[in-house]
Structure 1
Amino acid sequence: MSRTYLNADLHCHSVVSDGTLTPEQLAERAAARGVELWALTDHDEVGGQHRAAAAANAAGLDYLTGTEISVSFAGHTVHIVGLGFDADDAALSQGLYDTRNGRGPRAREMAQQLEQAGIAGAYEGALRHAGNPELISRTHFARYLVETGVCSDTYDVFRHYLTEGKPGYVPHTWARLRDAVSWIVNAGGLAVIAHPARYDFSANEEYALFSEFKQLGGRGVEVITGSHRPHEYLSYADLAREFDLAASRGSDFHSPDESQVDLGQLPYLPASLTPVWDLLQDRIQRA
C-alpha cells in the first residue's frame, strides 16, 4: 500500500462530532465510492473509533484511527489531524475532553448573540442537530438557521452569521499546537496539518506554523483535500517537499447535503510526494 495512487480518504466526520451520518453509514459510503483506506476524524473526539474500525472491516476497507484537534495558533483556529494512534490512549482522550469542554458555554453565548439579532431558540435548535452535545458547534447552529428559513443553505449562514464580525461569532481558545502534536505522537500516531489553505495566514504566519509544527514532531500535511482548489494542491505539495512532510488526502466530508466533495472523489496525490500511509503501515487495521 505504499503507492501514491491510492484512493485514501483520511478526513471525514460522523454524528459523533458535526457530521450527519453514523460511522457505519460512512464506512458503507466510502466503500461504495471506491475508497481503499479510510479514517474517521471527528472533531476533538475518538468516541466513534471502534465503531468505525469494525464497520470498515465489515465493508472491506483498510482503516486508520483518526481525530481532528482544534488548536489556537497566532490568533487563528487551526486543525491538526491525528492518524494511526491508539484510540484508547488515556492522555489523548483526556486532552480531547478538555479541548471540547469549552464548547457548551461558547454555544450559549452564540445563542445569546443570535437572539439579540432576532433569532430565537438557537441553542435548543442547534442542540437537536448535535449527535454529541459536548461537541455542539457552529455547524449545528448553521443547520438550525437553514431549517428555520433564516438562511438558504449553510454557506449563506457563514456569509451572514457565526464568522468574525457577524452576529453569533464567539472566539474560543483551543488546545496549544504543542499539546495537540504531543497527544497524537505519544499515542503512537502521526500529526498532520489539516486543510492549510483555509487559514487566513500571512506568508510569515504560515511559515511559522509549518516550522513550529515540524519542530514539535509533526510529520504530515493535507495536500489534496475538499477544502483546497487545484492550484492549492500544487502550493502545498511544494510546502510538503520544503518541510520534508508526508502528504495526506481527505475529503473533509460532513454530509451528503452539505459537503462539496464526496468520500473518495478527490484527485490522487502527486507521485513525487511521500504518502502518510507509507509512514503508518504498521498502524493500518487491515480488512
Structure 2
Amino acid sequence: MPKTYLNADLHSHSVVSDGTLTPEQLAQRAASKGVELWALTDHDEVGGQHRAAAAAHACGMDYLTGVEISVTFAGATVHIVGLGFDADDAQLSQGLYDTRNGREPRAREMAQQLEAAGIPGSFAGALRFAGNPELISRTHFARFLVETGVCSDTYEVFRKYLTEGRPGYVPHTWSRLRDAVRWIVDAGGVAVIAHPARYNFTANEEYALFTEFKHHGGRGVEVVTGSHRPHEYAIYADMAKEFELAASRGSDFHSPEESHTDLGDLPPLPSQLTPVWELLHERIQRAQ
C-alpha cells in the first residue's frame, strides 16, 4: 500500500547546479519545514544524489532521486523533472553530460554581449558563483550583476539583460523531449513536466507538449509549484486529469535569499489527483 505524504517537496536545487545551499543544508532545511518526502532535482546533473539521499535519511525524511533536464521544444526551453530513477544509470549520465556540454560556449557568448553593453568581467564573475563549472547558467550571471551593483536583485537582472531581446541573452539548443523522457524512463523513473505555466505557450503549443510528452512515456505534471500562481494550480489539475497524468508538488527552491517559496511551504495537491509518489512507492528510499 503506497504511503501517504502530507508534505512532499519534489523540486529543489543545490550548489551542484544553480542553488546556493549544499545537498546537506537543503535536507536540513526541508526537514525543519516538515517535509516528509524530498527530492533534489539539480539541473542536468545527478552528482549530488547520493549525498542528498544520505542527508535526507539522517534528517528522518524519505527520499526520491531527482533531476531537472533542459529540453528544447517549440523554440523554447522546457524543463522535464525525473523522479525515482537509478542515479548511477549510464545512459542517463551520458545524456546529462551531453546536455551540459554546451553551457560554457553559451556562457562565454553571454559574457561578450554583456561586455559590449558596458559590463566587463562577467564570465569570471559568474564562474565564482557556479558550484559546478559545467553548469554555469544565467542565474550565476545574475548573481554577479547583483554583487557588482549593476542591478538590485536577480529579477531585475533577468528583466534587463538575460531574457530574449536583451543584451546577454543567448539561446541554446538543449536535448530533445523524446530523449529526456526516455533517459528517465529507461533508468526506472517517472518523467514529469516541470512548472508548465512558465513557458507562455499558446494553447496549441501547450497541447502539443502534453501530447508528445505522454506519447514518449511521460507520466506526470507539476501542479502545485513555487513557479505557479494559485489560480494555475486548478488549471494544471485539469490538465493532469485530461491527459491522465499524475500530479507532482515542489517548491523549485534555489536560495533563501532568492526563492519566493520555501521548501515545504506549498499547499496540498488538489483532491481527485493521483500523487506522483504513488507511482514510485517502490522506488522511494525510506528513512530508517
TM-score, L = length of structure 1: 0.99
Aligned residue identity for 1:190: V
* 2:9 paired with 1:17: no
Tell me which amino acid in the other structure corresponds to 1:102: G
The corresponding residue for 2:285 is 285
Tell me the CA shift for residue 82 of structure 1.
0.1
Post-superposition CA distance 1:20-59 (Å, at most 9, x none):
0000000000000000000000000000000000000100
CA distance in 2, matches of 1:62, 1:269: 19
Residue of structure 2 equivalent to 1:104: 104
CA distance in 2, matches of 1:63, 1:226: 20
What whole-Å deviation, never above 9, does each CA across 1:226-283 have from its counterpart, x for those lacking one?
Answer: 0000110000000000000000000000000000000000000012100000000000
- Could you tell me which amino acid in structure 2 is paired with residue 153 of structure 1? D
Matching residue's letter, 1:123 = F
Equivalent residue, structure 1, for 2:158: 158
1:117-156 matched pairs, under 5 angstroms: 117-156=117-156
In the alignment, the residues of structure 2 paired with residue 178 and residue 70 of structure 1 have an alpha-carbon distance, to the nearest angstrom, of 12
Deviations 1:99-130 (A, max 9, x none): 00000000000000000000000000000000
Shift of 1:190: 0.2
1:230 and 2:230 are equivalent in the alignment: yes
Distance 1:200 1:72 in 2: 14
Unaligned runs of 5+ in 1: none
After the TM superposition, which parts of structure 1 deviate over 4 Å for at least 4 consecutive aligned residues? 1-5
| Equivalence for 1:257 | 257
Opposite residue 230 of structure 2, the aligned amino acid is P
Output the CA distance in 1 between the equivalents of 2:61 and 2:41: 16
- Letter of the 1:89 partner, please give it: D
Rounded to whole Å, the distance in 2 between the matches of 1:8 and 1:66 is 13
Whether the aligned pair in 1 keeps the contact of 2:5 and 2:36 (CA below 8 Å) is no
How many residues are paired up? 287
Give the letter aligned to residue 234 of structure 1.
Answer: A
Counterpart in 2 of 1:29? 29
Contact persistence 1:17–1:130 (CA under 8 A): yes
> What is the match of residue 92 of structure 2?
92
Between the aligned partners of 2:59 and 2:29, the Cα distance in structure 1 is: 9
Q: Aligned pair 1:211/2:214, yes or no?
A: no
Matches of 1:271 and 1:39 in 2, distance apart?
22
TM-score, normalised to structure 2's length?
Answer: 0.99
Q: Residue 199 of structure 2 aligns with which residue?
A: 199
SS of 2:77 mapped into structure 1: strand
* Aligned equivalent of 1:81: 81
2:3 touches 2:281 (CA, 8 Å); kept in 1? Answer: no
Unaligned stretches of 5+ residues in structure 2: none
